Each structure stands twice: as structure tokens, then as C-alpha cells.
Amino acid sequence: TSRSTSAERFVGVVSYPWHSSLFGRLLHVLFHAMDGDIPSIKSLVVLDADGKRIVSRHYKTGFSNTAEENAFEKKLFEKTSRNNAKNEAEIIMFDNLVTVYRNTSDVWFYVVGCQSENELILVNALSALYDALTLALRVAPDKRNLMDNFDTLLLTIDELIDGGMILETDPSTIVNRVGMKGSDGGVAGGETAFAEQSFKSLFASAQEQIARFR
């Protein structure tokens, strides 16, 4: 009998009585993780035209404090701010990391990955962020409307990336989920919160199972 794959064994360990888009996302991520090919990033950074942070997320980058993060972001901005990347993403190597970036009139978006990460995956993640924000805000994102809709910015990032792992890159799907999370109370809102909590609990349990199988 051939040896079962980690994904096949995982299905026998983790089961759930309901099927939803959240659970589907979990299985998609975990099956890739077991094969060691899950797409991930090191950092997601959004800066204004002066190089000041609007929001940033750093995942397993080795930065020990906020000062080191700010120093990295400052150098990144100085390296890229003179280039025009309004029409399409630009790609550079910076501090032995692959960085893709794009800017609007006064906002700079960066997605940073390790050297071994596929550049197209990073570009896809960056485009998903930019396009989802454009759809949600109904205008190309600039500093003012990002600050006025800061919760939308944070929720969009959360739907795109979790712990550095790329969860979703379809802009319309991201915007729909952001809209569900941002809706006022009600039963639907309660169900969404429950599903999200279940997703996170199941994900933590699944990570433990993966570690055991490896």
C-alpha cells in the first residue's frame, strides 16, 4: 500500500460538520502548507508621500522592535520614491528581499517577500490590495480617503494576509468579506463573527496537526 500524503492523512484528522467559504479557505491554505509551498510574504507596508507609515505589517522579519521596522521602511522609501510606479508594479531586490511596489498620488504600497518567493505571487498580492481598496473606496486610494476609511484598510489587509500567508487575491471576494465584517450587528453579523472565530480556532488546531505530521 502506498504511503498516504500529509493532506490525505490530515483529512482524516480534521473534520468539521459544516462547509463554508471560510472552511474552504482553511483547507486550501493548509493543504499547500503541508506540501511546503504556501505563498507568503515578509512585510506589507503602506507609506505616505513623505515616507511616513500609514500602516504596516511585518511577519517573521527578524525586526526586534518598532525602531528597526521604521528604519527598514525609511530605507525602502528612499530606495523607491523617485520611481514612478503609478501604472504598474515595480520589482526590486532590497536587503536580500524581493520587494514589489506601486504608488498613487501620495501613497506607496509595498509587498516584501523572501528571495525564494515567486515574484508574480507578490505582484498578485499587491494588485489584490490595490484593486480591493479601489473597489471598496470607489476611487483610487490616496492618503485622505485611506485615513478616513482606516477600518476598511485594516480589514482589507486582514482578508488578504494572515500571519504572512496569502489567503485571498480576488479583489471582489475581499471587498465582499470586508463589507460583511463592517456591516452593523444583526444575525448575519453574529454568524460572521462566529464563523471567523471558528476559522481561527480550527486553524490553530490544524497547525498543530501539521507540525505532528512533518
Please name the helix (run of DSSP H) or strand (run of DSSP E) that holds residue 91, with its range, or none: strand 90-94
Rounded to whole angstroms, the Cα distance separating 63 from 99 reads: 17
Tens digits of residue pLDDT in 168-207: 999 999 999 999 876 644 334 444 454 555 455 555 555 5
Rounded to whole angstroms, the Cα distance separating 126 from 14 reads: 32
Other CB atoms within a 10 A radius of the CB of residue 123 amount to 19
pTM comes to 0.72
Split the chain (214 residues) into runs of 10 and give each run's mean pLDDT. Answer: 42 39 50 59 96 94 90 95 86 92 94 91 95 95 96 95 92 93 51 50 52 48
Tell me the helices (H) and strands (E) count for the chain, helix number first.
8, 7
